[in-house]
Amino acid sequence: MSKQVPEKPTLDGLEEKWGALWEAEGTFRFDRSKTRDEIYSVDTPPPTVSGSLHGGHVFSYTQTDLIVRFQRMRGKEAFYPMGWDDNGLPTERRVQNFYGVRCDPSLPYDSGFVPPEKPGKQTVSISRANFVELCHLRTIEDEKAYEKLWRWLGLSVDWSLTYETIGAKARRASQRSFIRLLDKGLAYQAEAPTLWDIDFQTAVAQAELEDREVAGAFHRVRFHAAEGDVVIETTRPELIPACVALVAHPEDARFAELFGKTVVTPLFRSRVPVLAHDLADPEKGSGIAMICTFGDINDVTWWRELQLPVRGILEPNGRLKPIQWGGDGWDSEDPSTAQVNYDKLAGLTVKKAQAAIQDLLSESGDLIDEPRPITHSVKFFEKGERPLEILTSRQWFIKTLDFKDALLERGRQIDWHPQYMRVRYEDWINGLNGDWCISRQRFFGVPLPVWYPLDEAGIPIYTLPIVPDEDSLPVDPATDTPPGYDESARGQSRGFIGDPDVMDTWATSAMTPQIAGGWEEDPDLFERVFPMDLRPQAHDIIRTWLFVTVFRAHLEHDSLPFKNAAIAGWVLDPDRKKLSKSKGNAETPIGLLEEFGSDAVRYWAASGRPGTDTAFDTGQMRVGRRLSIKVLNASRFVLSHATQEGAVTNLVDQSMLAKLRGVVEDATSAFEEYDYTKALERIETFFWTFCDDYLELTKSRAYGSAGDEGAASAAKALETALSALMRLLAPFLPYVTEEVWSWWQEGSVHKSSWPAPNECGEGGDAQVFDLAAEVLGQIRKTKSAAKVSLKEECKQVSIKAPAAALEALKVAEPDLKEAGKVAAFDYQEEPNFSVEVTL
RNA sequence: GGGCGCUUAGCUCAGCUGGUUAGAGCACUGCCCUUACAAGGCAGGGGUCGGCGGUUCGAAUCCGUCAGCGCCCACCA
């Protein structure tokens, strides 16, 4: 061998050494001259840039990298970009905390603003433009740190292909798509009940809900009627002033005579109808419920289907708003009493109002018994801190319900890995109960690209939105002037105003294949990579990211956005809880990479099968490290004997290669099915047998104990096996395999071709090697049991076996004799295989 | 309430379309500084395959049922 094999190979420094070389050589650079069928394109999940990556990220991104590296070695040109999800609430929150600022959209832009080094005692209010600037500033820093970690981990991403979800490309793509939906009548605005977070003060979508168990209480409350009192049970007595009707099941005899009549609410003395609707459950509460605008999603349904008026009492900040009882829409049998009672609630938060109204109800005698404490689950915005409310507001929607069937069909066209994950997608679609609300009353996001004309009185005419030309995208209606207007007309009578809202961050993430693929901006590229081959992602965002991506591609391109969906599991604490940031092991993956080495951490990640949650396990990383060290040492030994020339004439050598051939076949088909774990298992098992048994068996022969021909055969077999093994292991252990590859090969192992079965020769009988390994094992066992050194001689090895096995073993006898220090062999033909070793 | 997944050695997991005494790694124990490897190697002990019932010549593997765990969806007056 002409190249140099180090005397003492080490794992230290491999990440820096090869990371720098790959970058310099452009090893993972995408070659866009390749055609669609030669390309494997990946819709990489853009990680949320809001702090730091943790073990879970390392886990799932490694898994994607395994697949990409396999595809690349199989001859595909990998289109493997990286995005940064910097748009949205997490960044806003991070910037607020990092600098101690808050966004006040009413403030003017301050071009001389310098952010504080550290958060001050007092929060600094800044304009929306200044705030967005800070968001950009912060995310650039975070993205650098992320990229450094990803490179260290060895992701074979083309780092010239990056995008940010707040970047110009992303803004253009999502605004362009929005305008087209508007044009097709698929985007619309409506003044409607909307899920509302009172802390962030924004609308949110069904996909962003989560249930949380919280303490509450059933209040039994008396409503008054001529026929006698009606008792309802409610967990939200503070909404009694918002009550517009009572409702019971049409077949519930207890309330039959009340249907069509009216009752009077306690405290506020409003007359409301008693109605029938089959959504009312006789089993729940007292069997009759109050309908408030709005307490929950059921209220919205009733309100809509029973055509009830709106009586909203909540401000966007979650406090009860001032109301003039007896005024329009707030009729009362006794307005002055209603006013006295309500004034004690106005201005309070929901929680405080609940306590206050409880006292009022007690005083008036309308509360029956003490409230009964319960624990019940309540809807929250997933990033929120207080329960969601439902408020009426003007929002933009995308028609979704009309496409349920089409989207279910799209789901069936995707290859899911694992397959059962499709069910989650279907569950979600089947449970959709409204169109997708995409407007958010936030700041750091993609602006909704519309303005509204103002009438003479300066009131926006929402029905006539002004839309930008596609050529002018991206636009920010807050600062850009709409076509046909002069900026001086902003906010003026007969002028215009910009829509103040931004889009749901998922409305932008929905476009990642288009953003990365250069949709409408680089048609040549787009044609080569879209639809993508692979969407890798975790199972918790099937209902969000996966769903919206499929949805938008369906509307925009009438196609799938990707062919395969590889769904990763979560990383769990050893105690089976989802890995949380509060636990130490969720932090600083860079520390893990330094302690165990990137290859070792990747080895652990590879042990997590697609879709399967996996325990965080440093033990696995230690095993990975040991494997890496073994790769170095075994390769050093192999290369001290190996040659690329010559022929494998020895039957033991042929047998080992026959076995390897099977491993290549298994690993290849496992990878084709996205089961990298199975592939690794097969490869690793063979590698250890290769080291423990084959190298031991042939060591002496390789040194020349059986003459030149035997040595030459071993030398060629060793080289053949090592070459295949390094390539098989390359996706998992990119650093150590590249290091070893460089000892005797040209170019990068990662650009070499995935082993083909026929590299291992045509014939060979795997049984020879297996039996020889078995006998060698017996010899070791006997010596171990006798507590003697493995170098100790054996007087005799007696083998009983069927004829064919004996035949095979005789072939291996010379190697066994040397490896086991055996003086003599004895063979007897018998149906059962057994070995007896005499020391 | 509906659904999906899981339940195999102390721990983490393999066991495909049912077929000889159930496997691996870690941990544990013992032996070995064997000229690729002592931050290593070799070997060993350890399991009523969640419970019950069924199909079958034969079941960890198929069917039914029960229990537990995790998750998804729905409901949450």
Average pLDDT, chain A: 92
Is the model's pLDDT at A585 over the cut of 60?
Answer: no
The tens digit of pLDDT for each residue in A82-137 reads: 999 988 888 888 899 999 999 987 888 898 999 888 888 889 999 888 898 898 88
Q: For residue A626, say whether its CB is under 7 Å from any atom of strand B.
A: yes
Q: In this predicted model, what pLDDT tens digit does every residue of A542-568 receive, in sequence order?
A: 999 999 999 999 999 999 999 999 999
Residue A232: CB less than 7 A from any atom in strand B? yes
Residues 636-655 of A with CB under 7 A from strand B: 636-637, 640
**Model confidence pLDDT, tens digit, residues A251-269:** 999 999 999 999 999 999 9
* Model confidence at A373: pLDDT above 70: yes
Give the model confidence (pLDDT) of A592-637 as tens digits: 898 899 999 999 999 998 888 888 888 899 999 999 999 999 999 9
Nucleotide B73, nearest residue via CA and C1' = A427
Give how far Cα A325 sits from Cα of A85, A234, A316, A335, A339, Å: 48, 23, 21, 5, 6
A610 touches strand B (CB under 7 A): no
In this structure, the number of other CB atoms found within 10 A of the CB of residue A667 comes to: 26
Show Cβ contacts of residue A787 under 8 Å, excluding neighbours closer than 6 positions: none
Q: Is the CB of A420 under 7 A from strand B?
A: yes
Average pLDDT over every residue of A282-298 = 91
Q: Which pLDDT tens digit goes with each residue over A395-437? A: 999 999 999 999 999 999 999 999 999 999 999 999 998 999 9
Q: Which nucleotide C1' is nearest A615 CA?
A: B12
A626 CA, B28 C1': separation in Å? 19
Q: What is the DSSP letter of A382?
A: T
First to last CA, chain A: 40
Cis ω before A474 (30° cut-off from 0): yes
Sequence-ordered alpha helix ranges (H) in A512-650:
512-517, 523-529, 547-557, 589-596, 598-606, 618-639
In this complex, the answer to whether residue A423 has its CB under 7 A from any atom of chain B, a nucleic strand, is yes
Confidence of residue A587 (pLDDT cuts 50, 70, 90): low
- Strand B–CB A233 distance below 7 A: yes
CA(A596)–C1'(B8) in Å?
30
In the predicted model, is pLDDT for residue A581 greater than 60? no
Chain A residues 730-769, Cβ below 7 A from strand B:
none
Beta strands A451-453 and A243-248, pairing class: unpaired
Measured distance CA(A588)–CA(A595) in Å, rounded:
11
Positive or negative, the CA dihedral A611, A616, A617, A621 is positive
Question: Hey, which residues does A796 pair with through a beta bridge?
Answer: A824, A838
3-state SS class at A208: helix
- Strand B neighbours among A 443-502, CB < 7 A: none
A8 touches strand B (CB under 7 A): no
Half-sphere exposure of A557 (CA within 13 A, CB side): 20
Rounded distance in angstroms from the CA atom of residue A533 to the C1' atom of nucleotide B62? 36
Question: pLDDT digits over A477-506, tens only?
Answer: 998 999 999 999 999 999 999 999 999 999
Range name among A1-5, A269-273, A346-350 with the lowest pLDDT average: A1-5
Q: Can you give the pLDDT at residue A574?
A: 60
A172 pLDDT more than 70? yes
Q: Is the CB of A219 under 7 A from strand B?
A: no
Q: Which of A406, A407, A398, A463 is nearest to A434 (CA)?
A: A398
Strand B contact at CB of residue A780, distance < 7 A: yes
Residues in a beta bridge with A40: A78
Cβ–Cβ contacts within 10 Å for residue A261, how many? 14
Helices A55-73 and A128-153 meet at what angle, rounded to 10? Answer: 60
CA A804 to C1' B19 (Å) is 23
Higher local confidence (pLDDT), A48 or A535: A535
CA angle A512, A209, A348 (to 5 degrees): 130
- Indicate if CB(A802) is under 7 A from strand B: no
What's the CA A673/C1' B60 distance, rounded, in angstroms?
A: 25
CA–C1' distance A619–B44 (Å)?
22
Spatial distance from the CA of A10 to the C1' of B2 (Å): 56
How far: A654 CA to B14 C1' (Å)?
28
Tokens 């040109």, residue located: A77
Residue A484 neighbours by CB distance under 10 Å: 10
- Tell me, what's the pLDDT at A618? 87
Q: Write down the pTM of the prediction.
A: 0.93
Residue A788: predicted pLDDT: 82
Residue A85 has phi, psi (to 5 degrees) of -90, 90
Task: Tokens 């168990």: give the residue.
Answer: A213
Which nucleotide in the DNA or RNA is closest to residue A622, CA to C1'?
B26
A582 touches strand B (CB under 7 A): no
pLDDT (0 to 100) of residue A579: 53
Report the range of poorest mean pLDDT among A28-37, A578-587, A647-656, A822-831. A578-587
Query: Residues 667-686 of A near strand B (Cβ < 7 Å)?
Result: 678, 681, 685
Nearest by Cα to A193 from A298, A334, A338, A294: A294
Q: Which nucleotides of B are covered by protein (CB under 7 A)?
A: 2-5, 11-15, 24-27, 30-34, 36-37, 39-44, 69-77
- Of the pLDDT bands very low, low, confident and very high (cuts 50, 70, 90), residue A169 is very high
Q: Is the CB atom of residue A281 positioned under 7 angstroms from any atom of strand B? A: yes
CA(A456)–C1'(B4) in Å? Answer: 58
Report the alpha-carbon distance of residue A535 to residue A548 in Å, rounded: 13
**Statement: the CB of A417 is under 7 Å from strand B:** no
3-state DSSP of A622-682:
HHHHHHHHHHHHHHHHHHCCCCCCCCCCCHHHHHHHHHHHHHHHHHHHHHHCCCHHHHHHH
Give me the pLDDT at residue A24, please. 97
Least confident of A100-104, A370-374, A628-632, A835-839: A835-839
Residue-wise pLDDT for A517-545, tens only, equals 999 999 999 999 999 999 999 998 999 99
Q: Is residue A576 over pLDDT 60? A: no
CA A615 → C1' B50, Å? 21
Model pLDDT, residue A521: 96
pLDDT confidence band for A584 (50 / 70 / 90)? very low
- Give the tokens for residue A72: 């690349």
